[in-house]
Structure 1
Amino acid sequence: MIIGNRRITGLTARVIAELVEEIGPLWQERHQARLAARPRKRAVGAGAKHRLVFIDWLLATLVHLRHGVTHDVLACWFGVVRSTITWAVGEVRPLLAERGCTVGPDVRLRSLADVVDHLGASGTTSIVDSTEIRARRPAAGRKDRDKFISGKNKQNAVKSMVVTGGEGRVLWCSPARPASCADITHAGQLGLVKLLADGPATEILADAGYRGLDAQTGGRVVTPPHRKFKKDVPDWYEELHERQRKAPSSRRIRVEHGIAYLKNWRVLARHLGRREHMSDIVQAVAGLLPHQQTADLTSSRQR
């Protein structure tokens, strides 16, 4: 029932089968490596047996990411204890995050360097923006507690930089950072300036939060123009500035569509779990999103 109904996982049965074929052997290999890394105290085959096979581990993780279902509810659904679901999600989620975003039959983007190389080779325009995800505030008295307060929304959150193609397809999402980090600072920490300076020529559209990158990258990052007049603005300049501001905005709006697809996965609407898991969650959803968008596009054509 779970595999056959795409509304539950967001993915088709064919994609889930491909994920099992791809991730299953990797999970088994890492599982055996962990067992071999410590001294054995029991005979081979002794101890508790897994009540769920790997495909159940994968399905539980997909449902958790898609709908934000708690581990308690998933435990009741699969007929196991809560710790089993927590164990399953904790092992499968990093494997999904490592897959990267599929943009072609043999092309996967796993890092920002891969994205820049892909954009340079294809000669396409990309769009960059940041998205914030509400998260639990650190307990009182903890170090760096205020770093998670967003200066924009005045809420406790983490942020991730999202790179999409010109049509809004998600190409990559960065690991999560505390929301107090400025957009341009985050881009610098990810090495975007150096990658653009040393890499192929490409055009990246960005909003006002990335002003300054245009000068640092030789114009490869396009941002809205500064307002030269703040008082006694001439009528001719007001009209000119409005045209200059709206021209890139009409192209840049596509990144908001890509972010909307990300936020449709309910685990990214508001995260109530551990903040240190947010990087894996964001990148796991970004890696699954191309499969969902392709399935949505195919189904709409068949109507």
Structure 2
Amino acid sequence: TTKIPKKQEPVRYQSTVGLSTDEIAEIVGRIEEVLASRRTGRPPLMSLAEQVEMLLLLLRRNLPQTVVADLYQVSQPTVSRVYRRLVPLFDEVLCLHEPFFVDVLANRETLVDGTDVPTGNRAGTKENYSGKRHRQGLNIQIAADLDGTLLAVSAPAPVPGARHDRRAISECGWEPLLDTTVWTADPGYQGTTATTPTKKPKNDELTDYQKTVNKTISGRRSAVERAIAHLKNWKILATGHRGRLTELPNIIRIVARLEFYRLGW
């Protein structure tokens, strides 16, 4: 007979699940407090710590559930049940770590850029197709400070991937708030109150002064691109959401809150 290997120890590597052991333990403790007041059924197959680590692994690495099931030596339906049970609990226990956009805008220059969350090509969602990126996705707006610290994510209000950033910043509701502060963005936001690089005139060249200013703005904008890169280390936002499309806005919000939590907000 084939010998069944012993169950592996829970994942403890920050580079794998995105959070440190202490941060994971804190989330487990918060979820235990929430569940303590609720009626529970039969004892679960996995400990709560293992379930939390499993969900973090799914969000951080975007592995197929069948692969995660093999890693934890459970069935794929068990992984699916854990995922659907813990997602709303994560949203609940991390909600206080999401800063209010109005508060983070005060007394600082803000950098804004848009990025897409790929969804894979799905029937009946042509409005999500981006001709620029040649794929379907949802557009989210990202705000960061000059140090590259994430300030805000336009979740749960992503817009179809076909939207230009100029329209997306308006549809997500940020534009009136940004109009009251100093903010910098790329040329896609021309027409707003943002400081943007000067586009090259048709059949003409930029002056040396304009080129210098553009270079300065581009150098400052690199900070928001770093913030986007760190956010998309949660690979479920970078490599394609496999679940129901209606669930994606909530996943974006939860991942954003995890990143705020990781950053110490």
Q: TM-score, normalised by structure 2?
A: 0.83
CA distance in 2, matches of 1:251, 1:54: 43
SS in 1 for 2:210: helix
CA distance in 1, matches of 2:214, 2:166: 19
Matches within 5 A, 1:173-184: 173-175=153-155, 176-184=158-166
- Given the alignment of the two structures, is residue 149 of structure 1 paired with residue 129 of structure 2, yes or no? yes
Q: State the Cα distance separating 1:251 from its structure 2 match.
A: 0.6
Q: State the Cα distance separating 1:4 from its structure 2 match.
A: 3.2
Q: State the Cα distance separating 1:146 from its structure 2 match.
A: 1.3
Specify the alignment match of 1:206 in structure 2: 185
Q: State the Cα distance separating 1:78 from its structure 2 match.
A: 2.6
CA distance in 2, matches of 1:182, 1:272: 21
Specify the alignment match of 1:118 in structure 2: 104
The 1:23–1:124 alpha-carbon spacing in structure 2 relative to 1, beyond 3 Å, is: farther
- Given the alignment of the two structures, is residue 230 of structure 1 paired with residue 230 of structure 2, yes or no? no
- Residue by residue over 1:195-248, the C-alpha shift from the partner in whole angstroms, topping out at 9 and shown as x without a partner, is 345xxx53221111211121xxxxxx3222354x42244xxx432221222221
CA distance in 2, matches of 1:155, 1:9: 27
Specify the alignment match of 1:105 in structure 2: none
SS in 2 for 1:278: helix
The 1:239–1:78 alpha-carbon spacing in structure 2 relative to 1, beyond 3 Å, is: same
Q: State the Cα distance separating 1:293 from its structure 2 match.
A: 5.3
Q: State the Cα distance separating 1:64 from its structure 2 match.
A: 0.7
Name the aligned partner's letter for residue 14 of structure 2.
Answer: R
Q: State the Cα distance separating 1:132 from its structure 2 match.
A: 1.3
Structure 2: unaligned runs, 5 residues or longer: 1-8
Matches within 5 A, 1:82-93: 82-93=76-87
Q: TM-score, normalised by structure 1?
A: 0.74
The 1:94–1:239 alpha-carbon spacing in structure 2 relative to 1, beyond 3 Å, is: farther
Report the identity percentage.
Answer: 25
CA distance in 1, matches of 2:188, 2:165: 6
Name the aligned partner's letter for residue 278 of structure 1.
Answer: L
The 1:163–1:154 alpha-carbon spacing in structure 2 relative to 1, beyond 3 Å, is: same
CA distance in 1, matches of 2:88, 2:164: 27
Q: State the Cα distance separating 1:97 from its structure 2 match.
A: 4.0
- Whether contact under 8 Å (2:159, 2:172) holds in the other structure is no
The 1:280–1:223 alpha-carbon spacing in structure 2 relative to 1, beyond 3 Å, is: same
The 1:92–1:153 alpha-carbon spacing in structure 2 relative to 1, beyond 3 Å, is: same
The 1:117–1:6 alpha-carbon spacing in structure 2 relative to 1, beyond 3 Å, is: closer
- Residue by residue over 1:57-87, the C-alpha shift from the partner in whole angstroms, topping out at 9 and shown as x without a partner, is 2111001111112211222333332122112
Name the aligned partner's letter for residue 224 of structure 1.
Answer: P
Q: State the Cα distance separating 1:8 from its structure 2 match.
A: 2.6
RMSD: 2.5
Name the aligned partner's letter for residue 134 of structure 1.
Answer: P
- Whether contact under 8 Å (2:10, 2:50) holds in the other structure is no
The 1:160–1:28 alpha-carbon spacing in structure 2 relative to 1, beyond 3 Å, is: farther
Specify the alignment match of 2:210 in structure 1: 241
SS in 1 for 2:19: coil
The 1:77–1:49 alpha-carbon spacing in structure 2 relative to 1, beyond 3 Å, is: same
SS in 2 for 1:128: strand
Specify the alignment match of 2:13 in structure 1: 5
Name the aligned partner's letter for residue 281 of structure 1.
Answer: I
Name the aligned partner's letter for residue 119 of structure 1.
Answer: L
CA distance in 2, matches of 1:192, 1:173: 10
Specify the alignment match of 1:258 in structure 2: 227
CA distance in 2, matches of 1:269, 1:101: 25
Specify the alignment match of 2:116 in structure 1: 132
The size of the alignment, in residue pairs, is: 252
Name the aligned partner's letter for residue 11 of structure 1.
Answer: L
- Residue by residue over 1:159-203, the C-alpha shift from the partner in whole angstroms, topping out at 9 and shown as x without a partner, is 211111221111221233321022122211222223345xxx532
Name the aligned partner's letter for residue 127 of structure 1.
Answer: L
CA distance in 2, matches of 1:182, 1:19: 37
